[in-house]
Structure 1
Amino acid sequence: MLVFENGTIIDLVRQIDLTDENIEVTYFNDAIITPAFIDIQVNGGGGVMFNDNQSPSAIETILRAHRKNGTGYVLPTLISSVPEKMFSALQGVHQALAEHSPGLLGIHLEGPWLSPEKKGAHDPNTFFDPSLDELIHYPWLVQGKTLVTLAPEQVNQSALEWLNEHEIILFAGHSNASEKDFTNKLDHISGFTHLYNAMSPQTGRELGVVGMALRHNDKWVSFIADGHHVHPSNIVMAAQLKPKNKMVLVTDAMGSVGSQDGCFVLDGEKICEVDGVLINKNGDLAGAHITMTQSVANLLEWGIEKSHAFQMASTNAALALNLGDELGYLKPGYRASATILDQDTHCQAILLEGVIYNS
């Protein structure tokens, strides 16, 4: 049994050893209880896209949609946009954090400092190399975590150093870089966004971004396990190559997750889910229509050990965000947060800092 008080885990005990009759007990029969799932790349949910609405109420709609599907904590993710919208997103998350929105950890800015050659569904008209004068004027978060996905070859050295100095976590993604392009820049990068997707491939004569991600054991790699973005065998291979504590499961979920009609609007274009796939008018994958619980179920089906799958869905993300001393584990002193599943990995409820949300 998980014993908690005031949002903090006190102990883990057998039911027979629970002697205090005044403790309120909630039972979940035949349940799997894991550290709360953490998704560091969520573009939308409940019919809302973060790119279209950055208000605290929109953020809460996104959090609620994913909470019903097993995700306790989220980084709302802004897809490449104009500086004004980046300002709005940072300000919206700042306000939502101040209002203590349940499950909000910060923000993920996916671009717009990306490579046109690996743009995916991003609008290349928004891409630019940020100057220091531009960076200092953004309303960066004073609480919560900020993750930025960028193409190292498209960003100047001074900007990378400034972002590092201000404790902004940098992942490489949507990048066409060669190994040489990472010279003097790799130390500023702590991970790689959605492994295999929108990054230069590994070849016999060039590591590319894929090879760099797989080669460097001290770097995180996030990946999408919907079976459409990446072939399952490539995920299994990566899980064999990378240290177990360096692979981070993400959904890259769009507003279609938890919505009525499975559709959303991105850059003025309506995109709908068809047979589990989201594709824009250019034929590019436009994010994913999948939850964390479905992603975990896929990993188990593909042969990933259950303990490793849960680690990818929670603990590793907490470590990647430098939150490993408060999230990602079920042990005394940590936040009382857990994902409660049935034996088929369907979500029964979420425990979020001492509050139970039933699915």
Structure 2
Amino acid sequence: MTVKAMSAQRVFDGERFHIDAAVVWNDQTIVDIVPKSELSGTVPCTDFADKLIAPGFIDLQVNGGGDVMFNSDTSVEGIDMICRAHRKHGTAYLLPTLISASPQQMKQALLAAEQAIEGQVRGVLGVHLEGPWLNKNKKGAHDADKFYSPSVTQLEAFPWLNNGVNFVTLAAENMAPESLQWLRDHDVVVSCGHSNATSDSLPDSKLKLVNGFTHLFNAMSPLEGREPGVVGTALMTDHAWCSIIVDGIHVAPQNVHLAKRVKPDNKLLIVTDAMASVGSVTNRFVLDGEEISVQDGRLVNSQGALAGAHIGMDQSVANVIEWGFDEAEALRMASTYPALALNLSELGLIKPGYHAAATVLNSDYSAHAVMVDGEIL
């Protein structure tokens, strides 16, 4: 094991800023944050000068990157390519996300994620199955022909990960209570999304089995005067976190501020919902036989409907800061809060005993470097 260090003008540990400081780690574990002037000359140090070191960004929803869609390449190599593409945008760790697919392809995705973790592919935390247990009335770019409501027996047939995060987005109103209970009993992170639920179809008995809500305001029944819908329910369910896309296209900045005012501390977090176009050469790809392309900064299908997002975590953080969010809070929304949402107690902070992970940012918040598993990449 080798003790190493990285230094910068500012280090944000997830709680407070340190000026002219160095992060010291041993192998894959943070040892301390010390003033640069007190760093031992025997410790090799990478100096990032006027940069900002923050806890490593964590993205819970990444459909693709670098011209690779997880749906099109459910392999270890595909996962590695996606992780590499998003590291260029400051993402240290992510969940490769499978858009509604067949049970066989879902099994392949789970097996590939397990193999990627066992093979120490840098940056993969597990897998996010976004569907196919969704509501056809809020399908977005998903193929509604693949939708169904799984039984416990069907859930038991999937090769769920033993060494990583199992995460599902589902329409809770369409799920049998016993299926929801099975997922929670087996430590699957359950997020309600692509849902057309009413308050009556999301009773407390189901809400208590839901950990969070996927891309708040998008693909969910809206808040109305006589019906809170999924949006209102998500905002008012204090135990549940909400992920949100902050590209300025999916959600108006005012609504991001509204959600921040309403949700308890640490319950609003950033996701990109990024597609293969992030880090792409062509800015276009195929999903379920349909071409998706970037048009005026929007990622749309042939009908002009939004089909995921064309943004990285670094630009997401820059956006919310530009919209008036506190810098520290914006950084936590991209790192600390996602770690809490996934119950990953070793990530999300730069503190002694935590995993050696960090994102290095330029003055405009664009990514400069990323440290994953104790290695600067």
TM over 0.5, yes or no? yes
Counterpart selection for 1:126 from 137, 141, 146: 146
- Rounded to whole Å, the distance in 2 between the matches of 1:98 and 1:354 is 17
Given residue 208 of structure 1, which amino acid in structure 2 is its aligned partner?
A: G
User: Quick one: percent identity of the two aligned structures?
Assistant: 51
In the TM superposition, residue 283 of structure 1 has moved relative to its aligned partner by: 2.5
Shift of 1:106: 0.3
Establish whether residue 142 from structure 1 lines up as the match of residue 162 from structure 2. yes
Could you report, residue by residue, the CA deviation over 1:93-146 in whole angstroms, capped at 9, with x for unpaired residues? 111111011111000000000001100110000000101111111111011101
Confirm whether residue 224 of structure 1 aligns to residue 276 of structure 2. Answer: no
How many angstroms apart in 2 are the aligned matches of 1:160 and 1:243? 24
CA distance in 2, matches of 1:282, 1:86: 27
Listed as ranges, the gaps of 5+ residues in structure 2 are 1-21
Q: Is structure 2 residue 256 aligned with structure 1 residue 235?
A: yes
1:6 to 10, 27, 31: 27
- Is 1:69 equivalent to 2:83 in the alignment? no
How far off is 1:244 after superposition?
2.8
SS of the residue aligned with 1:254? coil
Cα distance between partner residues in 2 of 1:30 and 1:342: 8
Among candidates 256, 259, 273, match of residue 252 of structure 1: 273
**In structure 2, what residue type is equivalent to 1:261?**
T
Q: 2:76 aligns with which of 56, 66, 73?
A: 56
| AA aligned opposite 1:73 | Y
SS in 1 for 2:197: coil
Preserved contact between residue 291 and residue 302 of structure 2 (Cα < 8 Å): no
Which of the residues 359, 370, 373 maps onto 1:350?
370
Q: Residues 178 and 206 of structure 1 are in contact (CA less than 8 Å); yes or no, is this contact kept in structure 2? A: yes
Tell me the number of residue pairs that the alignment of Structure 1 and Structure 2 aligns: 355
* Offset of residue 182 of structure 1: 1.3
* Superimposed CA distance per residue, residues 195-244 of structure 1 (whole angstroms, 9 cap, x where no aligned partner): 00000011111110000111122110000001111111100111111123
Following the alignment from structure 1 to structure 2, what is the Cα–Cα distance between the partners of residues 339 and 63?
A: 14
Per-residue deviation, residues 33-67 of structure 1 (Å, max 9, x unmatched): 11000000000000000000111001000000001
Contact 1:244 1:308 in 2 (8 A): no
**Partner amino acid, structure 2, of 1:151:** A
Q: Does 1:83 align with 2:81?
A: no
Tell whether the 8 Å contact from 2:212 to 2:240 is kept in structure 1 after alignment: yes
Deviation at 1:158, TM superposition (A): 0.9
Q: Give secondary structure in 2 for the equivalent of 1:103.
A: coil
Q: Find out whether 1:331 has 2:331 as its counterpart.
A: no
What is the alpha-carbon root mean square deviation over aligned residues?
Answer: 0.8
Larger RCO (alpha carbons 8 Å, 6+ apart): 1
Contact preservation (8 Å) 1:273, 1:289: yes
Say which of 15, 25, 35 aligns to 2:55.
35
Structure 1 residue 21: deviation in Å?
2.2
The corresponding residue for 1:108 is 128
CA distance in 2, matches of 1:86, 1:353: 27
* 2:177 is equivalent to residue 154 of structure 1: no
CA shift, 1:15, in A, is 1.0
> SS of the counterpart of 2:37?
helix
Identify, as 1 or 2, the structure richer in strand.
2
Find the aligned partners of 1:177 and 1:48 in 2 and give their Cα distance: 33
Give every structure 1 segment of 4 or more consecutive aligned residues whose post-TM-superposition deviation is greater than 3 Å: none
